Structures are given as structure tokens and as C-alpha cells.
Amino acid sequence: MAKRAVLIGCNYPGTKAELRGCINDVWRMHKCLTNIYGFSEKDIIVLIDTDRSYTQPTGKNVRLALSKLIRSAKSGDVLFVHYSGHGTRLPAELDEEDTTGYDECIVPTDMNLITDDDFRQFVDKVPRGCKITIVSDCCHSGGLIEATKEQIGDSTNDHEAPQNNSPSLFHFTNFLHRNMEQQDQEQEEDTIVKNRSLPLSTLTDILKEKSGKEDIEPGKMRHTLFNIFGEDASPRVKKFMNSVISKLQQGRSGESGGHRIMGLVGDLAQHLFEQKLDEDDDHDHDHDHDHDLDHDDERANANATRGGSKKEENAALIKRNLLDCGILLSGCQSDQTSADACPKGNSETAYGAFSNVIQGIMEENDGAVTNRELVLKARAMLKRQGFSQKPGLYCSDSNVNAPFVLN
């Protein structure tokens, strides 16, 4: 049995998005994995943006690291991913269903977003008999693996869901400000607290600075990401742009809707999209043949029922839940922010609130803790410390009380 991990930390030094505790989170997690859970240093990939001698956590590099982690996996292996950095949300497309109404995303250092659907694709490639645990210490991290069952949390459970789920950017921005003010009031005066949410307005400003383009708008973020990153953009973004091209081509053939789509595309020429678009979603797909064929067949059969009766859809969801090997421990709910704390303004002691408490729990229990226990204890500790964020657990029923990290 092999144990492999990818640890990702983004402090975004010198930018409007700068954080202080993310790299510290990574190195403490590295220590926990090696000292407590027996991971070998050679099997841990570290991506950080404060030391050029390490692989930089760009969108492309993060996807490559995750692809490598999964391609190397065999039945019985333990896979672990820890992300510490900013999170953001893109309103879901009008013709798509999403339990939260948004695409939850992590924010690599180059702003090349990785979405919840991208994480779902990665998890679906993990071979049967192998588990992958993802710890995400960023804002809006609830539901970061799309379509994974929520076991502990308030993001998708109907009886606990927030009342105001409008995807309005105005209301969403106001919510972030209120949440941040509350966090500021709750913390001790000598601790500087920032949230790990990147508003679309800030993302837009940073992309303008990095790309030199001034015609970037928050409402056209998928177009922008594709235009800037091309083949290296999120498969989710490329899928969206493929749909845009298809509708554009229909419009040029005389079908309705073409003029509206052309307006969405703006000045970006169609041939630019066609040159950049990667129909295979990810250029690493050539390596996918190593995965368990039965596992893939069962996924395909579950997906094939989509569009059928409600009974068939429910059967597909049950089947997915039974097969799902992904385990997500989120630092907060999908509509919440996670805290980046810096005691006495000293960057050397800065930390992510969620990473800090779960690492403390691991050390205190010498690693002997279940996924459920870890999340519930983290919730209680964060509340005592004055943080309003509520960690979540997303996984199949069989993994709720399974040992954290261990198979």
C-alpha cells in the first residue's frame, strides 16, 4: 500500500490577494503526514508560491500534480490532497443544475481557477479500492467535489440551507463584507484576521494586471479565463466555451440565438476559440487507460441514467454514493468564508483557522480520529476560538466513520 500526497499553498505575495498563513499550513501538514501517518517525503509533492525552488501552484501545475497523483494510484493506496489559499465562486450557468447555485473554485497563484466539477473529474478517475482525502482550507470550500454527499454541513441539506441563495453578485459581495466584519469583531485585538475569499472584482483586477488586458469584466469570467489560459484553462471553462462555439455555429447557420451568443463572445474571434479549445477537456486524458475498467463502466452506467425518470436519477445518485471514493473535509460551508489568522501581525506564526485546528487534533490524538470526529471536533474548537466558519464533511456513507487518511 502506497501513501502519496499533494500539498498546495498560495500566499499570493505582492498582490491584492496576499495571505500569510497558507505556506505555514502546508509545512505543518507535511510534518503531520510524515510524523503521524507514515508518509515518505519522496511521495509528497509540495507546490508553494513563496519559494521559486518549489513548483509554483499555477492552475496548470496543480492539475498536473493531481493527475500524476491519481495516475500512479493502485487499489489499496491512500491519496491525500491539502489546499490552503483563496476560494471563490462563479454563478452556475443557467442551463446547468448545481446544489448550491455556484461553481465553487480554488484560486491558484496565477488566478487560473479550478472548479468543483474539475475535482469531480479527478475523483472519478481514482481506481476502485483507493481513497482520496481532500482537505480544503479556503472560502466556499463546501461542495468542492461536485455531487458528493454532504454528511456534515449546511450547504445542500434542505432543512439547514440558507434562506437567501440568490446568485446576485451585489448580495454576495455584501455577505462577504458582513462576514469579515463579524470575524474582525470576534478575534483578539492582537490577531489580524483576513478571509480567504477572493471577490470577483479583485480577481478581475489581478487578471488585468497579469494579462495587460483592460476589457475584463466579472460577468464574463469564463470567457476571460479561456482567452488568457487557453488549453491550460479549467476543463469546466473549456466545456462552457465549447458550448458557446456550438451555439455560435448554429447561429451562423441561421438558427436562433446566434446574435446573443456573438454578443457574449465580444471581440474574441471564433478561430481563436477553435485554436485553443481542447476537446478532450484535459491533455492528460491519454493516460487514463490505466484505470480500473469496471470502475469506469459503473460510472458510465450511473451517468447514462441522467435525463431519465426521477426513479432512475435517484438510483444513479445512490450508485454514485456507494462507489464514490472521494472524501472532502471543507474549512467552511459553500456560502461562508474561512479565516487566515496572523497573531500579533507576525507572518511566521500565521495560519489558516481550519488547518490549525485539525492539525492540532491530529497531533493530540496521534492520528487516531475518524473523518466525522475530526470535523465535529474542528467545528467545536473553531466556535470556542471565536470563528464563525463551520467545517463540513462530504463523502459516501461508508467513509463517514472511516479513519482519517488511513485506508
Q: For the chain, give the secondary structure using H, E and C.
A: CCEEEEEEECCCCCCCCCCCCHHHHHHHHHHHHHHCCCCCHHHEEEEECCCCCCECCCHHHHHHHHHHHHHCCCCCCEEEEEEECCEEEEECCCCCCCCCCEEEEECCCCCCCEEHHHHHHHHHCCCCCCEEEEEEECCCCCCCCCCCCEEECCCCCCCCCCCCCCCCHHHHHHHHHHHHHHHHHHCCCCEEEEECECCHHHHHHHHHHHHCCCCCCHHHHHHHHHHHHHHHCCHHHHHHHHHHHHHHHHHHCCCCCHHHHHHHHCCCCHHHHHHHCCCCCCCCHHHHHHCCHHHHHHHHHHHHCCCCCHHHHHHHHHHHHHHCCEEEEECCCCCCCCEEEEECCCHHHCEEHHHHHHHHHHHHCCCCCEHHHHHHHHHHHHHHCCCCCCCEEECCHHHCCCECCCC
What pLDDT is stored for residue 314 in this prediction? 52
The CA distance from 41 to 4, in Å, is 9
Give yes or no for a contact between 307 and 158, defined as CB atoms under 8 angstroms apart: no
Catalytic residue at 32? no
Local mean pLDDT, 10-residue blocks, the chain (407 residues): 97 96 98 98 98 98 98 95 96 60 92 96 94 97 92 70 34 39 49 94 93 85 90 90 76 54 48 48 47 44 47 52 82 96 94 98 97 98 97 96 90
Beta pairing class for 351-352 and 191-195: unpaired
Domains (range + CATH), the chain = 3-213+309-399 (3.40.50.12660)
Pick the catalytic residue from 10, 30, 82, 86.
Answer: 86
Catalytic residue at 332? no
Pick the catalytic residue from 139, 325, 332, 342.
Answer: 139
What pLDDT is stored for residue 274 in this prediction? 52
What pLDDT is stored for residue 380 in this prediction? 98
